[in-house]
């Protein structure tokens, strides 16, 4: 098992370590790719949405659109469709198809917890750290996913872009998590995700610690380039980072 490694650049403040008087009091964790694995279900649902809007697999337009989908993983799904189609009506139709397709994949058992994710969330909460799960999914898709895992009551709160204003890479969900939980400040917050957009949202919010995990679709160099303070192999290593090991 690899040790957590700090990315180049300024080190996070030592006072932000859990267990210190000014330690981390809020953990904002992404869902798909960070705490949950979906075996490519997100991409499959995008493919279905594009195909039903006359963008079939194998074409140049399809390949170009899927490149954008992969590059913007973590962003609000409706925002992605707005960019792809440039038409609100088409974007809403595509988003509806995506949500129905993803819900079917969830019901088929495609989504499972990242090993150790549930235990990590429970351990954080037991130590006095509030946990908020956030995602680019709509509330309906998010809740069906959480229900399938038995996670509806696992965290202190769950957030989608619709709950906060804007999705990633904007900081709105991180800041809303702070307000919902009453955490002391953004400096007492750790943001954890598997995409550059997760990292950017944490940095824009001014989070005291921004941690990337390698259980999603992006590579360590990509996540380091995005500005992550630490890159770890899995969310289950987060307690090690907070202990400063």
Fold of 5-38+111-242: Rossmann fold (3.40.50)
- The first and second tokens of residue 1, run together, are 């098992």
Q: What is the signed CA dihedral for 86, 78, 198, 142, rounded to 10 degrees?
A: -170
Closest to 20 measured CA to CA, from 209, 191, 234: 209
C-beta of residue 22 within 8 angstroms of C-beta of residue 16: yes
Q: Global pTM?
A: 0.84
Backbone torsion region of residue 165, taken as left when φ is above 0, otherwise alpha when ψ lies between -120 and 50, otherwise beta: left
Q: Please state at what angle helix 77-85 crosses helix 88-107, rounded to 10 degrees.
A: 140
Per-residue pLDDT of the chain (245 residues; tens, 9 = 90+): 455 666 544 444 433 333 333 499 999 999 999 999 988 888 999 999 999 999 989 899 999 999 999 888 878 889 899 999 999 999 999 999 999 998 899 889 999 999 999 999 999 999 999 999 999 888 988 999 999 999 999 999 999 999 999 999 999 999 999 999 999 999 999 999 999 999 999 999 999 999 999 999 899 999 999 999 999 999 999 999 998 84
């Amino acid at each position: 098992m690899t040790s957590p490694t700090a990315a180049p650049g300024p080190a996070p403040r030592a006072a932000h370590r859990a267990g210190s008087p000014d330690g981390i009091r809020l953990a904002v964790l992404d869902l798909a790719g960070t705490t949950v694995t979906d075996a490519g279900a997100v991409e499959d649902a995008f493919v279905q949405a594009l195909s039903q809007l006359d963008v079939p697999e194998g074409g140049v337009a399809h390949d170009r659109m899927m490149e954008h989908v992969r590059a913007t993983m973590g962003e609000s799904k409706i925002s992605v469709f707005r960019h792809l189609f440039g038409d609100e009506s088409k974007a809403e139709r595509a988003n509806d198809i995506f949500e129905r397709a993803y819900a079917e994949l969830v019901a088929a058992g495609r989504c499972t917890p990242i090993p150790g994710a549930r235990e990590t969330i429970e351990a954080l909460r037991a130590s006095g750290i509030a946990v908020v799960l956030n995602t680019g999914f709509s509330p309906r898709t998010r809740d069906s996913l959480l229900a399938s895992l038995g996670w509806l009551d696992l965290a202190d709160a769950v957030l989608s872009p619709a709950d906060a204003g804007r999705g990633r890479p904007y900081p709105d969900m991180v800041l809303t998590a702070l307000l919902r939980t009453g955490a002391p400040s953004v400096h007492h917050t750790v943001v954890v995700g598997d995409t550059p957009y997760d990292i950017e949202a944490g940095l824009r919010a001014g989070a005291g610690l921004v941690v990337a995990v390698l259980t999603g679709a992006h590579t360590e160099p990509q996540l380091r380039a995005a500005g992550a303070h630490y890159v770890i192999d899995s969310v289950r290593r987060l307690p090690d980072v907070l202990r400063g090991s």
